[in-house]
Amino acid sequence: MVSFKELKARWRQFFRFSKQELYGIIGGILITGFIFSFRLWGGETFDWAVGLKNFLLTTLAAAISFFGHISCQKLYALSAGYIAEFKTWWAGLLIALVLAFVSVGHLTLVLAGTVSLVFMVKQRLGQFRYGYSVEERAITGLWGILGSLIFAALFRIGNLFWPEAVFFERGLMISLIFAICSVLPLPWLEGLNIFFGSRGIYWVSVVVVLGATLLLLWGGVWGLVFGIVMGLVIGGIAILYGSEI
């Protein structure tokens, strides 16, 4: 792995979102916000004011989850000598929207898309395996999943203090389901790239996502603490492992 000064210089020079990326991300955020607020437009009767408020709060939580997920991928990719560009899976978002309507909001998915890597020639000079690495592609995908779990833990902390707050409750669910959907080995999702990049990394990501979901949803305070500690350990191992490639 390159030095911190080099990382800082790369982040300043190359960390950005293109217009095409932003259009896709914003579209995904709005659709996800609508899907996860589908059942929050009033109780017995439809209420525009309550529904709009919940939609805005859910959309804000979705924006944090989306940008957190993708930013972690972009940052790791830059450290490895790649530029990561998010590709929106519009068909997947449409499928998720249709399923939300059919299930009356009970089935909520985040089928947002994946990132593609662009090789940075100058930044890869002198590194082992100068060319494109499918294993580094797998680790880039893994960091997106870890990013979702990190923000899920942050939303869970807020949910412990404000259990009735829609923002934290929906943010937790969006982040967890984003991680779960991302690990699926389907086209346009991170799981497929991880699966073909490294079987070991793929199964580790599956176990991490399932374990984090159980701890954050049903583990209580101690489950959250244990999840954070395990997340720090796994993140440290991922950093050390990535530095050896």
pLDDT average per 10 residues of sequence, the chain (245 residues): 72 88 96 94 78 95 96 89 92 96 94 88 57 82 91 92 93 96 93 91 91 86 75 66 51
| 140, 80 contact by CB (below 8 A) | yes
Q: Where are the alpha helices (DSSP H) in 81-133?
A: 90-102, 121-124
pLDDT recorded at residue 245: 45
pLDDT given for residue 225 in this prediction: 78
Which of 83, 84, 108 lies closest to 32 in space, CA to CA? 108
Indicate the SS3 state at residue 161.
helix
Give me the pLDDT at residue 127, please: 57
**Quick check: 201 and 245 in contact, CB under 8 A?**
no
Q: What is the rounded CA–CA span in Å between residue 52 and residue 96?
A: 20
What one-character DSSP code corresponds to residue 129?
A: S
What is the distance between the alpha carbons of residues 210 and 176, in angstroms, rounded to a whole number?
9
Q: CA 138, CA 117: separation in Å to the nearest integer? A: 11
**φ, ψ (nearest 5 deg) of residue 39:** -100, 15
**Cβ neighbours for 144, distance < 8 A, ≥ 6 positions apart:** 69, 70, 72, 73, 115, 182, 190
Sign of torsion, CA 51 52 53 56? positive
